Amino acid sequence: MNDDNLSEKIRQILKELDLTQDEFAKKIGTSRTMISKWVTGESNITLTSLKKIAEAANKPLQFFFDESTNQNNTNPPIPNLTPNKDSKDLWTEIDFLKKETELLKTQIENLTLKIKLSNK
């Protein structure tokens, strides 16, 4: 997700909901200044704020990461997120994948060391 895409998505939501930045800010519990900074790309958005925006706009988080509608997109769209899993399940899955990644890194390091030792 790039900042221009995110800014455009927020503008799109404001237009769809027919809300001003001030009205939308009140709806998600932030300031109009923060909405403006997100729309102009002056400030990065937190995941918590992105979730609030998605919820207020009745959009999945996937909406913000899907660049498939951009004409100059060279990356394939991110696969759909599983909508039926709650966030606890997703965080558990993320933790599992992090541990698996670390295990694979360790295995690669061990194999690399074995190869180096066998070549001596």
**What is the predicted pLDDT for the residue at 71?**
38
pLDDT bin (cut points 50, 70, 90) of residue 69 is very low
Where do the domains of the chain lie? 3-65, 82-120
Q: What confidence tens digit (pLDDT) does each residue in 78-112 have?
A: 444 445 556 667 778 788 888 888 888 888 888 88
Which residues touch 113 (CB under 8 Å, ≥6 apart)?
none
- DSSP character string of 15-64: HHHT--HHHHHHHHTS-HHHHHHHHHTSSPPPHHHHHHHHHHHT--THHH
Higher pLDDT, 40 or 75: 40
Q: Which fold has domain 3-65?
A: 434 Repressor (Amino-terminal Domain) (1.10.260)
Q: What confidence tens digit (pLDDT) does each residue in 10-56 have?
A: 999 999 999 999 999 999 999 999 999 999 988 888 888 889 999 99
